[in-house]
Amino acid sequence: MMPAASFPDPLGPAPNPVPPARRPGLLRRRAASFGHALRGVTVALRTELHLQFHAAASVVVLALGAYLGLSRLEWALVALAVGGVWTAELVNTAIEALTDLVSPGYHPLAGKTKDVAAGAVLLAALAALAVGLLVFGPKVWARWGP
């Protein structure tokens, strides 16, 4: 006969008498996540010239949209276009920083990685330009055209 200690306990291990360290609640973790994200945008805005250009262009676009009285659909299109450019620029910045970290010297794949990420920003900016021309073009032409 085998000793009882060699059989696994069907109820599992005994509970730990010392409670585990209390983790912050879900709401606090979510708030901290937003804080980290906002810090990332702020750092990128302070350090990235292209993002500063996009920020200035965004202010101009928003002011022009308010002046021209865009419809809700037009605002939605402009918001998606502006958000797409900002997103692409932030992802590009993150990819460039990570590439610099893992490949401080020149490497062809590091260069390719940076070029592809920059290409994504270019495509997002060209798409935003197309949206801008389609949304703002007729309104600007009607107001200030010949």
Active-site residues, by number, are 89
In order, the DSSP letters of the chain are ---GGGSPPTT-SPPPSSPPPPPPPHHHHHHHHHHHHHHHHHHHHHH-HHHHHHHHHHHHHHHHHHHHT--HHHHHHHHHHHHHHHHHHHHHHHHHHHHHHH--S--HHHHHHHHHHHHHHHHHHHHHHHHHHHHHHHHHHHHH--
